[in-house]
Amino acid sequence: MAQISDKATEQQNQASKYIDQMSTAEILVTMNNEDKTVPAVVEKTIPQVGKFVDAVVASMKRGGHLFYVGAGTSGRLGVLDASEIPPTYSAPYDLVQGIMCGGLSALVTAVEGAEDDFDAGYKVVDERGITEKDCLLGITTSGMAAYVHAALKRAKEIGATTGLLVCNEFEKTEDIDILIKAVVGPEIVTGSTRMKAGTATKLILNMITTTAMIKLNKTYGNLMVDLMTTNKKLWDRGARIIRHCTGIDYDRAMKTLIQAGGSVKTSLVMVLLGINAESARKRLAVHDGALRSVLDEEGKTLNL
């Protein structure tokens, strides 16, 4: 059996060695001090994250998808990030997909030994219909999950772009196109990688999908102009964005948003160009959904 005792995340953290004797405040301060180190570690990964983002954007522009595959906390964070993309950016539900080792039930209940199942990881790539157009990011804190490496192997055989996110030192293999290493060091509770390693993973996944969506014309400036109005809060947010960007009153903004079927982008084109929803959608389609390009063509700008 492979040993993981040499992994940084399995080492004893000297700052928390006597944590069971600390007061509540001392424990919280210790935890917070350790958490403060994570962003600096993530910063060092930016060149590699950037390469993966560019690959994801290129993939999506040719009809591909982004898949995350992981076990335990890593898998859950992948599923979480994937699930948040459709409502935030009106993206298709299959554009970003999370593959959880052990299946969906493993999101809430640990499935012991699933991460060691090489055959299941290899098979899941074909089961999910991954092709050469797609990108697959394996996520494993230790770098040792057989399920993840099997998925990477099969994805590479198919011709997909592959990446691996780890939180320990790891040597790149032939199945990995882009290696992202966020070496966070020992956890305050030894081996509890849902902590600093989990935080680093969440930050990096946020960076990947947010940057990709921006590059795919899902924002105007830093405004969420392509959100999906799936509840009252988001209808209100959409109307407020329209009001802010165009200067019209809230009631008119909401009425326009309703006419546009809940599309903020369409609503903004309607107001700025004085056209109906169908015409606005056609204008956006011509420019691949780039709101800025539509408005630039007409010499129009939005308030930011």
Active site residue 84: yes
* Structural contact between residues 52 and 209, judged by C-beta atoms closer than 8 angstroms: no
34, 115, 132, 174: the catalytic one is 115
To which H or E segment does residue 161 belong?
A: strand 161-166
Q: How far is CA 287 from the centre of its chain?
A: 25
Active site residue 187: no
* Structural contact between residues 180 and 163, judged by C-beta atoms closer than 8 angstroms: yes
What does the alpha-carbon distance between residue 247 and residue 296 come to, in Å, rounded to a whole number?
A: 18
* Structural contact between residues 197 and 167, judged by C-beta atoms closer than 8 angstroms: yes
43, 84, 157, 298: the catalytic one is 84
- Please state the φ and ψ torsions of residue 138, each to the nearest 5 degrees: -80, 140
What does the alpha-carbon distance between residue 237 and residue 254 come to, in Å, rounded to a whole number?
A: 10
Q: Which residues are catalytic?
A: 84, 115
